[in-house]
Chains A and B, each alone.
Chain A
């Protein structure tokens, strides 16, 4: 960790602060949530990385998709993701968000989450152990350093793409579009 390197802090305090203070939305999205309480309690202490769960998405900047996503949960996930302030990062656990995983032939799960909300990184495992979660967090730090963790920018620029996919799945959405249409 370069948490104590003053030079880097003085050059770009916003980026460094975004790295070392991840407030996680405490949203239990799927089966993987069972791995979150061990990682924030005493044995695998997540608070030393600066990670702490908060109550509302308005105060958060990291969204963990812990496992498979059913269509019912996807509505809540999209609403929650849109309520988070930018810059925000999404990390998905397991193989279900990548290609459907164990539920590849189910009518009710989402096979490819990246079509509906942008995902910055995936952590392998069904469910990943807390050590794997921490290695994933350090990889996310590297991505933020290299300015590659730009899921929120993708959401802002390609919003029509995401909105179209959401409307194709749900039909009429009962929340208005988050960003106005840019003239092509």
Chain B
């Protein structure tokens, strides 16, 4: 199965779905699911192959290369699986909206463009696919109109700035090394000067940093992720942000090379160490901003920025366990962020669009599968043992502590506590507490939504108990990047400074849990009471008013809110206002009066003649 056939199926399928939708909606639904599952199957079947294929009649005379290796395979698996789950979820979510054909077209196009990005072997097609991904994302973000348009505009402006920076980088590489093929570039870069490498890293870094929302390029993410339709928010948070990470890994370790990258810059201010600190700031500040939010999707969106910080920290630290944990956390974050966004989508679908955390409550009794999905997703992000988040976080803490970076470890651990607070607020306000009267009769989520939750929850727990399955793939990736490989087994990681054995933890928790559960059931039986038979100091329960949701963390709120405004966002707004003022001022030369224009022409000619007379330039 060749790579160009895969891309043709992906892109062609998208357009075919659009045309089939004109015939009948059911055909469109079925075909969309079929195409995404077909792509997933094809990618699963090419595991382990290392293909590289060149087309010599490509774009503007440049050769276009398609290739796949372990890194691309892992990313392609993540893209196609989250994509197909999102399509399955959208089947019932989008049903009542208008322009659904356009939605499916754009969703499948985004997935295909992301596949294109990870399957290319040269920078020209990389850039082309990157651009396709950017503007198709823009279309879906603006799908719902209203405030989504403003969010989309913010996204596309910042994204274009990133793309321009990347384009400058691509042009510079083409003129300097005369080739854009990645496998050849790694040899050529060995002879480049550190200043040039720094320039390339900065230009491409801005491009990748915009997509993966590193502080200070993160300001588009909260608005865009919260205004997009929810299945697409899952794809955005889960997978799109990882495209920037793919770019970073590609550049740091496959093009520039491990030793050159780690040796950039003077001793204390190594570039990779500065990147670690940027990662640390990205972990702490957005996670604490997340716990002040009142909108479910905005909370999760701010959270995404925080978790990307972990991945950047892992990639930049420079040890083999660090990069392994970065890639593993990328995989994990895709699963649990997608799961959390999809649960919000299910709640939104059943309650007709209510997303405000202060109006929901107690839905665990009416939507049990959704609740369990959200709980497992929340436990995964927090990193409770037995979930895959625990393994990746364990790895990153170990490498930070044992390589004496305790302050970075402290920032990462502080991020975990911010995560606990904000995710608990999320689960508590939506699913626990008292059920409002108006939601007393809502039904469970439809089966296709429950299917996505079940699959993702099982992946989270499976990778938590048997982390060897993804770690084997990651081991071969870091081996090909030049690091020393880790000593992993199917259930854990062994090293001479402490082992992790998840089967141990799993059996202990299971064993003790069973014993405690038996003791619990052996004691006297309980009587079930409903939520209105509650302690209220002897009075009747006021209906609808007996839930504590507003200002859930009020003492913390009062202490840290003044420090947690989004300074970067305000800075950008001020910058745009300032630019607008200057441009308004410059605009005044267009008076509309032809006499003024003639005067400008005459004055400029006089100026040129003066220069010619004085210095004879021409």
Contact = CB atoms under 8 A, between A and B. Distances in A.
A/B: CB atoms within 8 Å of each other: yes
Interface of A: 27, 56-58, 75-77, 79-80, 83, 174-175
B535 A76 contact: no
B533 A83 contact: yes
Contacts of A83: 533, 535
A174 B535 contact: no
Q: Which of A27, A77, A79, A174: most chain B Cβ within 10 A? A: A79
A83 to B, nearest CB: 6
A54 B540 CA distance: 21
Interface of B, secondary structure class, is: loop
B146 interface: no
A77 B540 contact: no
B538 A77 contact: yes
Contact of B538 (A58, A80, A174): A80
Contacts of B540: 79, 174-175
Q: Which of B535, B537, B538: most chain A Cβ within 10 A? A: B538
Interface string B522-551: 000000000001010111100000000000
Contacts of B539: 76, 79
Nearest to B532: A175
A174 B532 CA distance: 11
Contacts of A27: 538
18 contacts: A27-B538, A56-B535, A57-B535, A58-B535, A75-B538, A76-B537, A76-B538, A76-B539, A77-B538, A79-B538, A79-B539, A79-B540, A80-B538, A83-B533, A83-B535, A174-B540, A175-B533, A175-B540
A101 B537 CA distance: 27
A180 to B, nearest CB: 11
A58 B537 CA distance: 11
Nearest to A73: B538
B84 to A, nearest CB: 48
Interface string B322-358: 0000000000000000000000000000000000000
Contacts of B533: 83, 175
Contacts of A58: 535
A150 B97 CA distance: 64
What are the 8 A-B residue pairs with the smallest beta carbon separation, nearest first? Answer: A76-B538, A56-B535, A80-B538, A79-B538, A174-B540, A58-B535, A83-B535, A76-B539
B539 to A, nearest CB: 7
A175 B536 CA distance: 13
A80 B535 CA distance: 8
Nearest to B526: A85
Nearest to B540: A174
Interface in B16-49: none
A146 to B, nearest CB: 23
Given A58-B535, A76-B537, 12 more contacts: A27-B538, A56-B535, A57-B535, A75-B538, A76-B538, A79-B538, A79-B540, A80-B538, A83-B533, A83-B535, A175-B533, A175-B540
A12 to B, nearest CB: 15
B285 to A, nearest CB: 39
Nearest to A55: B535
Contacts of A56: 535
B522 to A, nearest CB: 14
B540 to A, nearest CB: 6
Contacts of A57: 535
A17 B535 CA distance: 25
Nearest to A76: B538
A27 B540 CA distance: 16
A145 to B, nearest CB: 22
A79 to B, nearest CB: 5
Contacts of B538: 27, 75-77, 79-80
A61 B494 CA distance: 53
A75 B537 CA distance: 11
A76 B538 CA distance: 4
A154 B540 CA distance: 25
Contacts of B537: 76
A77 B535 CA distance: 12
A75 B540 CA distance: 10
A92 to B, nearest CB: 17
Nearest to B536: A79
A60 B533 CA distance: 16
A92 B539 CA distance: 21
A53 B533 CA distance: 22
A77 B539 CA distance: 10
A29 to B, nearest CB: 10
B311 to A, nearest CB: 46
A41 B539 CA distance: 29
A76 B540 CA distance: 9
Contacts of A79: 538-540
Contacts of B535: 56-58, 83
A174 to B, nearest CB: 6
Contacts of A77: 538
